[in-house]
Amino acid sequence: MNLVPGHSTCAGCGSSLAVRQVLEATGDDVIVCIATGCLEVTTTQIPTTSWKVPLIHVTFENATSVAAGVKAALEYSGNNHTQVIALGGDGGLGDIGFGALSGSLERGDDILIICYDNEAYSNTGMQRSGLTPMYAATSTSPAGKKEWKKDLPSIVAAHNIPYVATASIAFLQDLKMKIQKAMKMKGPRYIHIHIPCPVGWGFDSSKTVEIARLAVQTKMWQLYEIENGVKKITVEPGKKPVSEYLLKQARFKHLTEEQIKKIQDRIDGS
């Protein structure tokens, strides 16, 4: 196991689960470049570390740029087998790191980019991010966010990279399949994992996987892959009403019927 216990993630944290599984699928021959965020701060408390693979953290927004440099260095040294992984949250890749992400994709850096999306700036106390869903209450949008969630996987796909996929911690076989597929390809590959956050979203720590599953079962989160431009649904979306997913989380408890309907309509049309 390459992400060992003893880290200070919250009980029931989805990101440590996701990354533990990702590293199982990638194997040992990797170098991870991580952005500042929940996972970085909790797993690298000097003088200890939870990582058993080489890890570098520089700042919040440059996971992909650092990864590009690492990969170039490996290639120059004749090492074509070690994979370089850029790991960041929805903040580090979707907001503050957006420019660096886009640059890396356009440049065709041969790296695997993984976004662990807990739909807010969790590390600093659940402030809203561009990937926070509509109406969600966060500490900087206490009355509910007024904008729809930024569709980062689609933006990434618009860069025409070899592989883009979405994943969920409730569907681990699907996630592992996607990681293993990505590992065999070259060029920029992007996997976006949906990570429920018990502390931030407001549900009991035991329900993390259940909430992730409900997201897929209500079509709030869709699992697909785009391989060289061809999109394929990998897990059939469910037909449960979105309220089953939304009302189980404190961040959506204040939603009116009209707001829920708005969300349902948008999901039905997608």
**Cα pseudo-dihedral 221, 157, 236, 232, rounded to 10:** 180
Q: Stretches 68-76, 181-189, 229-237, 250-258: which one binds another protein (CB under 8 A)?
A: 68-76
Instruction: For 158-191, give the secondary structure using H, E and C.
Output: CCCCCEEEEEECCCHHHHHHHHHHHHCCCCCEEE
Question: What is the CA 7 to chain-centroid distance, rounded?
Answer: 19
Residue 36 CA to residue 39 CA, distance in Å, equals 8
Site for another protein contains 14 (CB under 8 A) = yes
- Smallest gap from Cβ 67 to another protein, in A, equals 6
**88: Cβ contacts below 8 Å, ≥ 6 apart:** 34, 35, 37, 63, 64, 97, 113, 114, 115, 116
Site for another protein contains 78 (CB under 8 A) = no
| Contact pick of 38, 55, 157, 246 for another protein (by CB under 8 A) | 55
Q: What backbone torsions phi and psi does residue 191 show, to the nearest 5 degrees?
A: -125, 125
For residues 179 to 198, the per-residue mask of contacts with another protein, x marking binding by CB under 8 A and - elsewhere, is -------------------x
Closest CA to 199 of 94, 118, 114: 118
Amino acid of residue 151 = D
Q: Name the token pair of 54.
A: 């080489």
Site for another protein contains 70 (CB under 8 A) = yes
Site for another protein contains 107 (CB under 8 A) = yes
Residue 224 CA to residue 233 CA, distance in Å, equals 4
Identify which of residues 117 and 141 has a Cβ nearer to another protein in the complex. 117
Q: Name the token pair of 78.
A: 């004749």
Residue 197 CA to residue 39 CA, distance in Å, equals 12
> Residue 188 burial by CB count (10 A; 0-12/13-18/19+): exposed, middle or buried?
buried
| Contact pick of 16, 132, 141, 222 for another protein (by CB under 8 A) | 16
Identify which of residues 51 and 224 has a Cβ nearer to another protein in the complex. 51
Identify which of residues 102 and 264 has a Cβ nearer to another protein in the complex. 102
Identify which of residues 65 and 138 has a Cβ nearer to another protein in the complex. 65
Site for another protein contains 159 (CB under 8 A) = no
Q: Stretches 100-108, 177-185, 235-243, 248-256: which one binds another protein (CB under 8 A)?
A: 100-108
Q: Is the peptide bond before 162 cis (omega within 30 degrees of 0)?
A: no
Site for another protein contains 156 (CB under 8 A) = no
| Contact pick of 22, 38, 62, 136 for another protein (by CB under 8 A) | 62
Count interface residues toward another protein (CB under 8 A): 75
- Smallest gap from Cβ 257 to another protein, in A, equals 29
Binding to another protein (CB under 8 A) within 198-257 occurs at 198, 204-210
Identify which of residues 75 and 265 has a Cβ nearer to another protein in the complex. 75
Q: Name the token pair of 198.
A: 């018990």
Identify which of residues 107 and 266 has a Cβ nearer to another protein in the complex. 107
Identify which of residues 109 and 263 has a Cβ nearer to another protein in the complex. 109
